[in-house]
């Protein structure tokens, strides 16, 4: 079914290519698209395919150059760069901006949505609210892609939350920092591009992330254990500056959204396929990869209950409506 959906969306994109879109002022534009993750990460590869699709569909009217690995803007700076028009488009993990609006952390509530199917339902329940908030911040959402389920990385065996006491933990958003606090670990803010160096130098000793991030960064060179806890599936979002969007003609907008639909489907398929591939890669690198034990799972469930309650309080009526809609599926 996934391949059928992807094929249908690709066909839609090709149909859009039969119309030659032009920008409202009649001039072609070259767009820089910053991305935070390595060029070989599936999100970045998907971004390149999206850029190619847009270039084809607009017959060069919108020519997007992808800049991976935080090479143009660091991950934490990408959203602001799009908002202010420093770049017209970019990709960002919005859960890193929960301090602006709690809704941005919808995909980082522990154990709320722990599978690809459930995370898709949660995203669908959140999308209308998310789009409204982003438009208020001068941003237009084009497409979103989930990461594989998040697990815990350590450089020692861990069987309970008590075993985590004092460990330096890489955090990348409010949820991961709070997780560290509730488990007795010490949160250290580290961008994705800096992960390998942080572990190699002892700045960090643990993180919660997907198998994909660990595999991309060869963390087996410093870490020894990965525990599958399927805590959540965070999303990367590709957004366009709203002023830039409003300056496009209808054909160009249609091309961007059509290519975005294809990228969302392709990205989901890649994320699913990448899950087992990267866990096997961690094993081949020498790491112990296993399901978390019963004690650790029970301890983490308690942490998850606390964080869910905190998120619902921070997210207010919008958050409650999202969770109600999600659980009603």
Does 222 lie in the same domain as 319?
A: yes
- Which pLDDT band, with edges at 50, 70 and 90, does 18 fall under? very low
Q: Is residue 239 part of a domain?
A: yes
Does 225 lie in the same domain as 239?
A: no
Q: Is residue 315 part of a domain?
A: yes
pTM value surpassing 0.75: yes
pLDDT in tens, 266-276: 999 999 999 99
Q: How confident is the model at residue 302, as a pLDDT?
A: 96
% residues pLDDT > 90 (the chain): 89
Does 263 lie in the same domain as 193?
A: no
What φ, ψ does residue 37 adopt, rounded to 5°?
-105, 165
Does 311 lie in the same domain as 169?
A: yes
Does 268 lie in the same domain as 304?
A: no
Distance CA 288, CA 220 (A): 9
Any idea which of 10-19, 55-64, 93-102, 317-326 has the lowest mean pLDDT?
10-19
Q: What is the mean pLDDT of residues 157-175?
A: 96
Does 64 lie in the same domain as 47?
A: yes
Q: How confident is the model at residue 28, as a pLDDT?
A: 86
Does 209 lie in the same domain as 116?
A: no
Does 217 lie in the same domain as 138?
A: no
- Which pLDDT band, with edges at 50, 70 and 90, does 145 fall under? very high
Q: Is residue 104 part of a domain?
A: no
Q: Is residue 106 part of a domain?
A: no
Contact 105, 95 (CB under 8 A): yes
Q: Is residue 64 part of a domain?
A: yes
Query: What stretch of H or E contains 289?
Result: strand 288-291
Does 162 lie in the same domain as 69?
A: no
For residue 308, the enclosing domain spans: 151-231+277-327
In this model, does residue 54 exceed pLDDT 50?
yes
Q: How confident is the model at residue 202, as a pLDDT?
A: 96
CATH number for the domain spanning 6: value is: 3.40.190.170
- Which pLDDT band, with edges at 50, 70 and 90, does 25 fall under? low
Does 73 lie in the same domain as 191?
A: no
Q: Is residue 297 part of a domain?
A: yes
User: Residues near 194 by Cβ (< 8 Å), separated by ≥ 6?
Assistant: none
Does 175 lie in the same domain as 310?
A: yes
In this model, does residue 127 exceed pLDDT 80?
yes
Q: How many domains does the chain have?
A: 2
Task: Calculate the average pLDDT of the chain.
Answer: 92
Does 176 lie in the same domain as 320?
A: yes
Report how far apart the first and last C-alpha atoms of the chain are (Å, whole number).
Answer: 20
């Amino acid at each position: 079914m996934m391949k059928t959906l992807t094929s249908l969306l690709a066909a839609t994109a090709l149909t859009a290519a039969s119309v030659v879109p032009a920008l409202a002022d009649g001039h072609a534009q070259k767009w820089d698209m910053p991305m935070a993750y390595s060029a070989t990460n599936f999100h970045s590869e998907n971004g390149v395919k999206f850029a190619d699709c847009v270039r084809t569909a607009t017959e060069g009217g919108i020519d997007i150059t992808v800049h991976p690995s935080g090479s143009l803007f660091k991950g934490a700076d990408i959203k602001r760069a799009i908002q202010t028009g420093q770049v017209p488009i970019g990709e960002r993990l919005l859960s890193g901006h929960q301090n602006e609006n709690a809704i941005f952390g919808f995909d980082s509530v522990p154990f709320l949505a722990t599978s690809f199917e459930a995370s898709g339902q949660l995203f669908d329940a959140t999308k209308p609210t998310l789009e409204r908030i982003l438009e208020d911040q001068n941003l237009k959402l084009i497409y979103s892609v989930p990461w594989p389920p998040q697990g815990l990385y350590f450089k020692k065996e861990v069987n309970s939350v008590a075993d985590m006491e004092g460990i330096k933990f890489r955090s990348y958003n409010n949820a991961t920092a709070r997780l560290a606090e509730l488990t007795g670990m010490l949160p250290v803010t580290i961008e994705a591009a800096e992960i390998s160096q942080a572990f190699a130098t002892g700045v960090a000793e643990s993180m919660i992330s997907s198998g994909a991030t660990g595999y991309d960064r060869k963390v087996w060179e410093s870490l020894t254990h990965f525990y599958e806890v399927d805590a959540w599936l965070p999303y990367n979002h590709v957004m366009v500056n709203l002023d830039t969007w409003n300056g496009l003609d209808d054909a160009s907008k249609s091309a961007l959204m059509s290519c975005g639909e294809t990228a969302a489907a392709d990205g989901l398929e890649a994320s699913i396929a990448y899950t087992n591939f990267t866990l096997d890669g961690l094993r081949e690198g020498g790491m112990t990869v296993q399901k978390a034990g019963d004690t650790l799972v029970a301890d983490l469930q308690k942490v998850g209950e606390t964080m869910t309650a905190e998120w619902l309080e921070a997210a207010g009526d919008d958050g409650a409506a999202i969770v109600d809609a999600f659980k009603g599926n």
